[in-house]
Chain A
Amino acid sequence: MDAEFPAKHYLNDGYGISSWLLTRDHKRIALLYLVAVTFFFFVGGAFAVLIRLDLATPAGDLVSDDIYNQLFTMHGVVMVFFFLIPAIPAILGNFLVPLMIGAKDLAFPKLNLLSWYIYIAGGLMGVYVLLTGGLDTGWTMYAPFSTKYATTRVVPAALAIFVTGFSSILTGLNFIVTIHRMRAPGMTWFKMPLFLWATYATSLINILGTPVIAITSLLIVAERLFNFGFFDPSRGGDPVLFQHLFWFYSHPAVYIMVLPAMGVISELVAAFCRKPVFGYSFVAFSSLGIAVLGFLVWGHHMFVAGQSVYASLVFSMLSFLVAIPSAVKVFNWTATMYKGSVSWQTPMLYAIGFIGLFTIGGLTGLFLAAIGLDVHVTDTYFVIAHFHYIMVGGTIMGYLGGLHYWWPKISGRMYPEGLSKLSAGIIFIGFNLTFFPQFLLGYLGMPRRYHSYPPDFQVLNVLSSAGASILGVGYLLPMAYLAWSLRYGKPAGANPWGASGLEWETTSPPPTENFAVNPNVTESPYNYPSPVVKHVA
């Protein structure tokens, strides 16, 4: 029983370049983001490959010290600002927020398109930095190195971050207004899918936190160009002030990156267990709890930065507190599987992978929040391993799981199941081989951002580099078969998973106006069996 491909949908509603570049359809804008964000993912990934290749030997003999410093800086800047922050909100969020609440579009469709152009403008500035001398300050741009000593393109890089931030702010604003004002009749707050709670919490952080990094970037520019002296001790400034400002945004930014992935995992676990998420309101409020507490823990990046003992104690305590809502989510997802109808399709494999890797990432966060232990492991590869378990093991697993789950909705076609399971396995193995040895390296004391290292550390570094090459293959595969499926995939039908949720009640791909008939919501979000059941698999 092959599903029908709809005759009219958003993908064939206009051809030609201007129908894309001037579109106000949130679904097409999501695809514009998909193209741009994927480009930056592979740029950032190429830097990672070069880093790991260089670290295969202790001497640091592949590239020069200066080039190596640029590689890890650009890897961080590109991955954080141009991939991790926009990936789930701007691609999946853009596509799904109106569909999930039963709306025709976001509240401000033109603003949405503007966000994309701002992102592209920031991205082009980033590419300009790359092509005209690069950046070697680390993505953290600590003063006074960035403001006084670095000879690379600090000013254009800081301006690129400044500009890109507005894209996040406007998208966040758009989502918040949309979720408040555009919900379909009957779609109360507690009938919203948990992905929307996570997106809402993320948007709050975006509009409250991003202005701080924007201002901080301008302070760097002002200090570099006009010698203001905010951060220069010889002029009465304080270099640690920069760290406070930077982490006041950049710690919440961690949650900008991981909260949307948590939202995706809630959807995946529900859909592939065909069961309501256990403890819906606890999962929903834990997103808001993380968003609020996330603003109060920035000082845990500065336990060895001359911060007062008592400030460190408070930040340590709050950092332990923020672990609780994350743990609550993990327990609820696990409990959701109990007495479920658990499918082993690819998105669920990503969800299970996420739960495992995020658990390790979260637990190793406890090591770092314990101040007396943090002193030893901070600024080492332990930190690198920890946040890659959260960012790569968490966010990217969530992103890829979500992309596979909603791919039939986005493209109208199924991807090849066997190949996608294989690549999910490759990614899981490659990921652990890359990053687990880095915990050990960190405890041994290997500092981060080291181009050369003592020969004792080589075996673990070689393991990590080997893992990275496996991981690279794992990321290239989905890129290839998802592209293949656009033309050759089987038509998916409205609801190939038998999942509940408004997005599955319209055709795949949906029409430009999303729903043929305006939805009227009466059911809770995870009501099974789904009202629309048309299975392919």
Chain B
Amino acid sequence: MFGIPLFPERASTIANEVDALYFFLIGLSVVMSVLIATLVVSFAIKFRRRHRDAVGAQVHGGMALELAWTIVPFLITLVVFFWGAKIYFVMASPPPETLNIYIVGKQWMWKAQHLTGQREINQLHVPVGRPVKLIMTSEDVIHNFSIPAMRVKADVIPGRFVQIWFEPTRPGTYQIFCAEYCGTQHSRMTGQVEVMEANAYQTWLSGGTAEGSLASTGERLFADLACNTCHRPDSRGRGPVLQNVYSHPVQLHDGTVVTADENYLRESILTPATKVTAGFQPVMPAFQGLISEEQLLALIEYVKSLSTQQENVNR
């Protein structure tokens, strides 16, 4: 309107649903604000003081009205609650087959690590029409990876992985912002998502890298760090066999059972004594501070590649 943008582009499947709730709430707000404003203004005019000693009617209240304006807003908010929760469930549940990309935030840039080995800074190339899952962490402070056109964002927190997913619906270039204050150049920690047609994306992928896939980098690192002396495929090692660990339940020393997701793998590499697998001694050295965030991603991806229940299709 008048050259002023009012709505961001809609470039993901979820964007339509978010906008629908937004428009509903705008409608609700307009109705309620106009109702209140009309009543207040018309009462102020109709019942304006006509004589300086005039007083109002001694009305003290009315139970029916009180109940009505307690219960009706409650019911309306219930609708909005369920509507918002429904969208959130979709956002929190990525489909089983996603294109996974690791994102590492640091003051003040975004690093993207593709499973095929490509790395980008402040850029993210993704294909149109395919669900993309971003597995994100931070090297320093809390950041927030925000793509307004996709209507998704999440805090990127040091020491753990968080995930968001979206399915781009339109090729184009979309803005990435850091949305959690992170220091001096917070407002310059921005970038672009390039949503590409499938064949253009394949061409981009085949640009390739010298290093090979992220999992193969992880495999080399696994040998370089001598992980393979204890974690052997034949169950004779001092450490657990890592084949088929990822996404499977693991019985711990203290009897609890956890699922070996990315955050578990991360913790077990950096501070292995925290959750020791049942039947093993806490003899593994802690790698906290010894390997970089990128090396950690490569190791995790290698361990994931040892699992038959691969959720990744992009390899």
Contact = CB atoms under 8 A, between A and B. Distances in A.
B262 interface: no
B4 A459 contact: yes
Query: Which 6 pairs of residues, A with B, have the shortest CB-CB distance?
Result: A233-B159, A372-B87, A445-B148, A370-B84, A275-B56, A340-B56
Contacts, number: 298
16 contacts: A136-B184, A142-B181, A274-B49, A274-B54, A275-B56, A281-B61, A320-B81, A323-B77, A341-B50, A342-B56, A356-B40, A359-B36, A375-B91, A375-B152, A498-B52, A528-B56
A61 to B, nearest CB: 12
A452 B187 contact: yes
Q: Chain B: interface residue count, which band?
A: 35 or more
Nearest to A450: B187
Interface stretch (A103-111, A324-332, A472-480): A324-332
B200 interface: no
Contact of A144 (B22, B90, B142, B181): B142
Contact of B36 (A239, A313, A330, A338): A330
A454 B175 contact: yes
Nearest to B184: A65
Contact of B21 (A233, A280, A372, A456): A372
A278 B60 contact: yes
Given A370-B83, A372-B91, A376-B153, A69 B29 contact: no
Nearest to B270: A234
A153 interface: no
Given A304-B153, A373-B22, A340 B181 contact: no
A177 B193 CA distance: 59
Contacts of A316: 81, 84-85, 88
Interface string B282-305: 000000110000000000000000
Interface stretch (A85-93, A168-176, A361-369): A361-369
B58 interface: yes
Contacts of A332: 61, 66
Contacts of B180: 142, 379
Interface string B51-68: 011111111111001100
B131 to A, nearest CB: 17
Contact of A306 (B33, B36, B146, B160): B160
Contact of B88 (A239, A334, A372): A372
Interface of B: 3-8, 17-18, 21-22, 25, 28-29, 32-33, 36-37, 39-41, 43-44, 47-50, 52-62, 65-66, 69-70, 73-74, 77-78, 80-81, 83-92, 107, 140-142, 144, 146, 148-149, 151-155, 157-160, 162, 175, 177-188, 271, 288-289
Contacts of A449: 181, 186-187
Contacts of B73: 323-324, 327
B291 to A, nearest CB: 12
Contacts of A304: 144, 153-155
Contacts of B142: 142, 144-145, 239, 305
A240 interface: yes
Chain A contact surface mostly: helix
Contacts of B33: 356, 359-360, 363
A434 interface: no
A280 B184 contact: no
A127 interface: no
A447 B178 contact: yes
A370 B25 contact: yes
Interface string A347-383: 0100010011001100110110111111110111000
B241 to A, nearest CB: 28
Interface in A442-475: 443-445, 447-454, 456-457, 459-460
A371 B19 CA distance: 13
A154 to B, nearest CB: 13
B5 A444 contact: yes
A274 B160 CA distance: 60
A440 B59 contact: no
B160 A372 contact: no
A304 B65 CA distance: 38
A149 interface: yes
B88 A282 contact: no
Nearest to A444: B8
Given A282-B66, A379-B179, A535-B53, A366 B25 contact: yes
A45 interface: no
A75 B50 CA distance: 44
Contacts of B57: 275, 339-340
